[in-house]
Amino acid sequence: MLDLYKHHRRECIAFIVLFALLSLYIATHPRGASTYVMTIWANQCLILALAAMAQFFVVLVRGIDLSVGAIMALSNCVASYVLVGSGIDLFYGSIAVVLTGTLCGALNGLIVVYGRIQPIIVTLATGSVFIGIALLLRPTPGGTINYDFADAMTLDIAGIPTAVIICAVLLIGFWIPLRRSGLGRAFYAIGSSEQAAFQSGISVNTVRIFAFAMGGTFAGLAGSYFSYVTATGDAGIAANFTLNSIAAVVLGGVALSGGVGSLVGALLGACILKTISSLMFFSGLPPLAQPLIEGVVLAGAIAIGSSEVLRMKNRLQVFDR
Amino acid sequence: MSNTATARFYSAEFFEAAFPYVATVLMILGASTFFPEFLSANYLLQQMQIAAFLGVIALGATIVILLGHIDLSVPWVLGGAAIISTAMAGSDNAILIALAVPAALAFGALVGVVNGIGVAWFRIPSMVWTLAVNSMLLGVAVLNTGGFNPKGEASPLMVTMASGKIAQIPMAFVIWMALALILFVFLKRGGYGRYLSSIGFNEKATYLSGVSTLRVIFSAFMIAGACSALGGVLLAGYANQAYQSMGDPYLMPTIAAVVIGGTSILGGKGTLAGTIGGVAFITLLSSILSVMQISEAWRNIIFGCIIITMLLLQTLRRKRV
Amino acid sequence: MPPNHTGSSRLKTNTTPLVRLENVTKRYGATVAVSNVDFACHSREIHAVLGENGAGKSTLMKLLSGVIQPTEGKLYIDETPVVLSSPRKAIDLGLICMFQELSLVPDLSVKENLLLGGKGSAYGFSRQTDRQLARTLLDQIDGHNIKLSTRVSELSLAERQQVEIAKALSRKPRLLILDEATSALNASVVEKVFELIRVQRDSGTGILFISHRFHEIEAIADKISVFRNGAHIDTFANGEHDYPAIINKMVGQTLTELFPSLPPLSAAAKTVLNIDSLSWNSIVNDISLTVREGEILGLGGLDGQGQSSVMQALFGLLKGTTGQVAINGTGDLPTSPKSAKSLQTGLAWVPEDRKAEGLILDQSIVENMELAALGHASNPDSTVFSDLMQALDLKYRSLDQPVSDLSGGNQQKVALIKWLVISPKCLLLSDPTRGIDVKTKTQIYGLLKTLSESGMAVILLSSDYEELIHLCHKVHIFYDGTVVESLSGESLNAQNIIAASLNMHQSAAPAHA
């Protein structure tokens, strides 16, 4: 048990913080701990959480993805076309939406690896392209999603928000097996020490492209869940989500230098961010002051997370972070 | 000892910096075959003015990027400087009006200090910290202006700076070039440019060589902050007011301009001259696309594709060397 | 240990080589790492490769493990030409390498590292059998207390080497390549590793073994190859040549005076540096030492006994130190490298890790040499630089070429010039000759003598006791953060250094080196 804590210290701290914030939120919310409140909260969290998970895969291999928001917007716009009709159409439609994300991510990966260009600038440019395509699809926000389908995804099952169930399925059915597999190890290896990974026989290029594609897939999932929640296609949502996804992964203990952190951390970081927003909303603090307080809280959390640097007794150690 | 200036002139660095200029010229010539107005003095002079707004920001960004860091607080330093200067200029107090521009620049430098604290003292990755600082500045602005367009106007000085002319040459362009010259000399004298580059390549080794890395990092962010503020002052002078989110469209083009100008996003390598060329390229590209009345969607797509092409060309060129 | 001649003491000229290099050359730009190398290894044989630093041994291993490809020449496996385009390819063909810089991922656990890149593990899951094998292998080399769930970043260097060996063996190699595989291990673990290696050899594996420790090679090798300056000099059976003859092949000349004679200290020499009861963080405990003009003071002892922390403290890198300090008249430890190098304090430090700390590899020779001098009050002009470059015989093509192009020895010269140009009063050196070829070592030793004669004080931290014995006026041996022994003159000899390093009392009987 102690080992678990030691190896996942950051995630444990994030979990405790989230628990505290969530309790505070429920306590101050006029409707309290009802399914309704929890569902709305969970839905909002899941959108950002999926975006954060997308960012996580790219950051894990020592990259950064500034196109997360753009891929979300594009998938969202695609969804507003294909998630209509019913039955089997919806099934294929969902796959098409997520696949859009995967293709975008794979494109990012291919350019980064074979173009030998830094991810920050590649994703900056591709983000622009993806937004452009999204605007072609939906010059103005519009379209619809099959309402029944959207409802199924965003309400609750037996009192538990569907979003929470989706999360649980993702973590147990996807993340844990991935983490145990060779591919999962390869992701961490490349982020932690590319040289060691290469020497151990890992195909660094292929795995990196995979990581970007995985990121794109989750961005596609984020975009599609956004459609379930808002039921329209909107190309303008991008920038907000991109930057928030970076903040979320950092709060969740993922290192921007790669090789450290977990999907759980990304999830927790996103939930923390969203809960703070929601807390602000119901806290009775003047609405005009809320963005500032959010910003200060974010900055404070990040600074506290780094404060151990100030206590280092060997000045050279700060360079090893 | 350093007679390497001559050697440098014909070196790889020269070609890296010249690349965006060549691309810009080719682009203008190419576009002029469709629209001869692109070669008119009127148009080009106007572009020189517009480019200056992005240009001064990009100069500051180059200095931070040479260090191996990045300044994502550009949007709201710009916005904040615009708000401060127009508020002071719009007051009835003669002293405040006179201090409008210096106060805005001081504001930029102050934000630079805050950035420096997080990056140099707390060792927070600059991407994350400057993002958080940007959020806080956004919060302050919202609190201050109540979400409306800030009240105030540009002072006569600001208007002259942004739209005045000296013998047909736009004043803004002159200011940009003057700033570039000042920074160029500053980097060459006393080894400051050397320190930037060394820290960008290897901060630990630079520190161990007895360089005051803290001082260099703080001053770099202060310069970048002041440059972003100057951009805000010029924009406010151009529009005769500050407006909501005026800084947002400037962040990504700044980074793109710096990278196209040959500066490595990882730090260590790069030139101010290259950035100037990159700004010229980006400005003309945006302008040509908008004159040709290309829809927003296609502008985004073309913009992104061209950036990627430029970067791929850079990679090809480096491989051949 | 008696040499191992069991069953393979003569050159195998009549069996097909397992792996063969034919006229292989590897160039990096203008630098030639290995040239025109013909080399073969056979199965059922332990083949040792000897050569000093820069001889091409590591390049050879990298070529055989697919990390790099030859610029010219061909590789054959079982006499079939083959291109090892990546480590994956080499591993699939059974060429398994245990790298000197280790191929362990710090943020993953031991178990995950052992499974990394193994056959069939690309996208699949690890099986129970894989884990059993890993555990068994680790236990066989005394790794009982290495838990499979520990993060590699938490292991010591010795434990990491054990994991690396287990990883290599678990891949069922046809050719096992060990590049400085045992440098951090103690004698009993080394013996267990050798047992495993002999078992591998007897069951058909070929073994390629690089080491600096001649007694290890003597103990285990069937065949020895010598490399020098990137060329394959000779291959012979173990026992065919004696130690001096082998050294001769490695160095290419008879070993003349490596060390210059030390000038004696003048009695009038002023104290440059004095520390009294220096302590820090329980790693440095109550250290006192003095250095005078022209004196070369040695700091010895096993790794990590506090001596490197003393160097760091002197150079202003440690916070929270206690004790009295007097450096060139100033009464406090410097608070940063910048204040340490000031004209008043007059310190300079050449760190042990020249690639990551001493130099900036991406920058040019000029830029590196000038970095400490920029803005420094001593304001050296270009003659100071060129005089030093000449004195140290710096070999370069152009001053603008990146320092990464230079050989290890020349890189170290640049690192030294960088600090000497500001005319420090006391020069701090941490293992300045680690990984450097013999010729450069001689030049550096000569430089130290010149510096001492000119009145510069030198503090030399070294893990090479020959250096300590021949170069230093006095040596402090560290153990557990304190100076357990101070040796000079007659008492400064190998036995005493080793005994003190192990915190044993001085004994009359000589210890084995």
User: Does residue B34 lie in a domain region?
Assistant: no
Residues from chain B that touch C340, judged by Cβ atoms under 8 A, are: 210
Query: Minimal CA–CA distance to B47: which of B158, B230, B227, B176?
Result: B176
With CB atoms and an 8 Å threshold, state whether C366 touches B202: no
Residues from chain C that touch B4, judged by Cβ atoms under 8 A, are: 364, 366, 399-400
CA C83, C88, C93, C97: dihedral to nearest 10 degrees? 100
CA distance C337 to chain B (A): 4
* Cβ–Cβ contact B297 with A under 8 A: yes
DSSP-based three-state secondary structure for C315: coil
Write down the pLDDT at residue C122: 52
Q: Report the amino acid identity of residue B236.
A: A
User: Does residue B196 lie in a domain region?
Assistant: yes
Q: Tell the burial category of A158 from Cβ atoms under 10 Å away from its Cβ (0-12, 13-18, 19+).
A: exposed
Confidence check: pLDDT of B303 > 80: yes
Mutation target among B296, B300, B306 for the A interface, most CBs of A within 10 A? B300
* Cβ–Cβ contact A309 with C under 8 A: no
User: Does residue B150 lie in a domain region?
Assistant: yes
Residue A236: band (very low, low, confident or very high) from pLDDT cuts 50, 70, 90:
confident
- For chain B, how many structural domains are there in total? 1
* Cβ–Cβ contact B303 with A under 8 A: yes
Q: Which DSSP letter does residue C125 get?
A: B
Question: Could you give the CA distance from residue C411 to residue C394 in angstroms, rounded to a whole number?
Answer: 9
Q: Tell the burial category of B144 from Cβ atoms under 10 Å away from its Cβ (0-12, 13-18, 19+).
A: middle
- The set of chains that have 3 or more CB pairs under 8 A with A is B, C
Average pLDDT over residues A35-44: 87
Query: Minimal CA–CA distance to B244: which of B82, B104, B130?
Result: B82
Mutation target among C61, C93, C100, C103 for the A interface, most CBs of A within 10 A? C103
Closest CB to B208 among C351, C366, C376: C351
CA distance B62 to chain C (A): 19
CA distance C88 to chain A (A): 4
Whole-Å CA distances, C159 to C145, C182, C304, C497: 9, 11, 16, 26
User: Does residue B163 lie in a domain region?
Assistant: yes
Q: Provide DSSP, C334-356.
A: -SSHHHHTSTTT-EEEE-S-III
With CB atoms and an 8 Å threshold, state whether C105 touches A196: yes
DSSP-based three-state secondary structure for C415: helix
DSSP-based three-state secondary structure for C295: coil
* Cβ–Cβ contact A260 with C under 8 A: yes
Positive or negative, the CA dihedral A130, A136, A140, A143 is: negative
Q: Tell the burial category of C418 from Cβ atoms under 10 Å away from its Cβ (0-12, 13-18, 19+).
A: buried
User: Which residues face C175 on adjacent strands?
Assistant: C95, C206
Cα angle: C134, vertex C135, C136; to 5 degrees: 95
Residues from chain C that touch B205, judged by Cβ atoms under 8 A, are: 356-360
- The set of chains that have 3 or more CB pairs under 8 A with C is A, B
Residues from chain C that touch A312, judged by Cβ atoms under 8 A, are: 319
With CB atoms and an 8 Å threshold, state whether C366 touches B198: no
Q: Which DSSP letter does residue B83 get?
A: H
Residues from chain B that touch C430, judged by Cβ atoms under 8 A, are: none
* Cβ–Cβ contact B211 with A under 8 A: no
User: Does residue B176 lie in a domain region?
Assistant: yes
User: Does residue B255 lie in a domain region?
Assistant: no
* Cβ–Cβ contact B122 with A under 8 A: yes
Residue B1: band (very low, low, confident or very high) from pLDDT cuts 50, 70, 90:
very low
User: Does residue B318 lie in a domain region?
Assistant: no
Residue of A nearest to B117 (CA): A303
Write down the pLDDT at residue B3: 45
User: Does residue B299 lie in a domain region?
Assistant: no
CA distance A199 to chain C (A): 6
What residues contact C496, with CB distance under 8 A and at least 6 apart?
C485, C487, C506
* Cβ–Cβ contact B255 with A under 8 A: yes
With CB atoms and an 8 Å threshold, state whether A117 touches B147: no
CA distance A55 to chain C (A): 19
With CB atoms and an 8 Å threshold, state whether B131 touches A246: yes
A288: tokens are: 């005009």
Residues from chain B that touch C346, judged by Cβ atoms under 8 A, are: none
Query: Minimal CA–CA distance to A190: which of A214, A220, A219, A221?
Result: A214
* Cβ–Cβ contact B6 with C under 8 A: no
Question: Could you give the CA distance from residue B202 to residue B149 in angstroms, rounded to a whole number?
Answer: 44
- The percent of residues above 90 in pLDDT, for chain A, comes to 46
Residue A144: band (very low, low, confident or very high) from pLDDT cuts 50, 70, 90:
confident
What residues contact B33, with CB distance under 8 A and at least 6 apart?
none
* Cβ–Cβ contact B315 with A under 8 A: yes
With CB atoms and an 8 Å threshold, state whether C374 touches B191: yes
Largest Cα–Cα distance in chain B? 62
pLDDT higher at B229 or C204: B229
Query: What's the Rg (C-alpha) of chain A?
Result: 20
Containing H/E element for C245? helix C243-251
Mutation target among A1, A185, A260 for the C interface, most CBs of C within 10 A? A185
With CB atoms and an 8 Å threshold, state whether B198 touches C372: no
With CB atoms and an 8 Å threshold, state whether A294 touches B135: yes
Residues from chain C that touch A310, judged by Cβ atoms under 8 A, are: none
Domain that residue B135 falls in: 45-248
Other beta carbons within 10 angstroms of residue C339's beta carbon come to: 18
Closest CB to B300 among A118, A135, A250: A135
Q: Checking DSSP bridges between strand C223-228 and strand B169-170, what pairing results, if any?
A: unpaired
At B84-120, the pLDDT tens digits run 999 999 888 888 888 999 999 999 999 999 999 999 9
CA distance B221 to chain A (A): 17
> Residues of chain C whose pLDDT is less than 70?
1-14, 101, 118-128, 130, 212, 253-257, 505-513
At A83-139, the pLDDT tens digits run 877 778 888 888 999 999 999 999 999 999 999 999 999 999 999 999 999 999 888
- The set of chains that have 3 or more CB pairs under 8 A with B is A, C
Question: Could you give the CA distance from residue A72 to residue A223 in angstroms, rounded to a whole number?
Answer: 4
Question: ipTM exceeding 0.90?
Answer: no
Question: Could you give the CA distance from residue A141 to residue A234 in angstroms, rounded to a whole number?
Answer: 4
Whole-Å CA distances, C332 to B164, B212, C314, C322, C328: 58, 19, 10, 10, 10
With CB atoms and an 8 Å threshold, state whether A128 touches B128: no
With CB atoms and an 8 Å threshold, state whether A133 touches B312: no
Chains A, C: CB contacts within 8 A come to 100
Question: Could you give the CA distance from residue C314 to residue C159 in angstroms, rounded to a whole number?
Answer: 31
Question: Could you give the CA distance from residue B306 to residue C508 in angstroms, rounded to a whole number?
Answer: 79
